[in-house]
């Protein structure tokens, strides 16, 4: 029993139903195209620029609260588009725990991917490298699309940087910093991430 006088499981279910409804409302209010079959566990943080798109597919699970994910999350899922024309798309059946997803041009995440706790994916450096150019807007800020294939597994706290493509079935180790593209079915780890081995389709 808890302070509401409910058994723990009933309280948990109630919290899930309430946060799913509130989270969905929050996403829709921000203009996110979210499937009725997506599941929100806890409230994500979202901001969408005008004339940009955030799309969340069928059976996507966004977990924004430590209560519902084994490792816990440092903060809720953060979904942002940063400028007009940007796209952030999360494919059917993908599961995400916490983490930040910031698109200035395009981030596409495929189907059935697993993104461990607190992954960070950003397709831009956010700031110009040259201090003299830091007040001039987007013109001097490097941006390049990120494309993540289907069935990709990204370990906790990995960082995926601009311009990276990750092939179908690839695995990214916990804490990896991925600066270069990853072939399909490769296992990469470390900083900068390097191939540790390759998986044949259907093997562990």
List residues binding ligand COA (CB under 6 A).
71, 97, 116-117, 155-156, 171, 173-175, 187, 189-190, 196
Nearest distance, CB of residue 177 and ligand COA, angstroms: 10
Distance CA 114, CA 64 (A): 15
Nearest distance, CB of residue 80 and ligand COA, angstroms: 22
Nearest distance, CB of residue 122 and ligand COA, angstroms: 19
Nearest distance, CB of residue 171 and ligand COA, angstroms: 5
Beta bridge partners of 184: none
- Looking at the Cβ atoms of 62 and 104, the one nearer to ligand COA is 62
- Looking at the Cβ atoms of 54 and 171, the one nearer to ligand COA is 171
Task: Classify each residue of 126-152 as buried b or exposed e, where b means 16 or more C-beta atoms within 10 Å of its C-beta.
Answer: eebeeeeeeeeeeeebebebbbbbbbb
- Looking at the Cβ atoms of 97 and 106, the one nearer to ligand COA is 97
Sort 79 into a burial class: Cβ within 10 Å, 0-12 / 13-18 / 19+: buried
Taking the alpha carbons at both ends of the chain, their separation in whole angstroms is: 41
Sort 192 into a burial class: Cβ within 10 Å, 0-12 / 13-18 / 19+: exposed
- Looking at the Cβ atoms of 71 and 87, the one nearer to ligand COA is 71
The DSSP result for 101-113, as a single string, is EEESSEEEE-TT-
Nearest distance, CB of residue 192 and ligand COA, angstroms: 11
- Looking at the Cβ atoms of 23 and 116, the one nearer to ligand COA is 116
Cβ–Cβ under 8 Å, residues 102 and 54 = no
């Amino acid at each position: 029993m808890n302070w509401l006088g409910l058994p723990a499981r009933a309280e948990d279910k109630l919290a899930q139903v309430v946060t799913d409804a509130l989270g969905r409302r929050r996403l829709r209010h921000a203009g996110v195209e979210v499937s009725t079959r997506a599941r929100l566990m806890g409230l994500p943080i979202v901001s969408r620029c005008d004339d940009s798109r955030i799309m969340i597919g069928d059976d996507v699970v966004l977990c924004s609260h430590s209560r519902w994910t084994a490792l816990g999350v440092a903060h809720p899922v953060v979904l942002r588009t940063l400028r007009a024309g940007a796209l952030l798309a999360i494919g059917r059946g993908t599961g995400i725990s916490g983490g930040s997803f910031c698109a200035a041009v395009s981030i596409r995440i495929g189907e059935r991917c697993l993104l461990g706790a607190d992954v960070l994916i950003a397709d831009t450096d956010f700031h110009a490298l040259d201090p003299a150019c830091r007040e001039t807007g987007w013109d001097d800020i490097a941006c390049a699309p990120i494309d993540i294939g289907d069935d990709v597994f990204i370990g906790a706290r990995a960082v995926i940087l601009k311009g990276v493509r990750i092939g179908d079935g690839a695995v990214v180790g916990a804490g990896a910093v991925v600066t270069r593209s990853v072939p399909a079915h490769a296992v990469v780890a470390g900083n900068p991430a390097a191939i540790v081995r390759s998986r044949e389709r259907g093997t562990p």
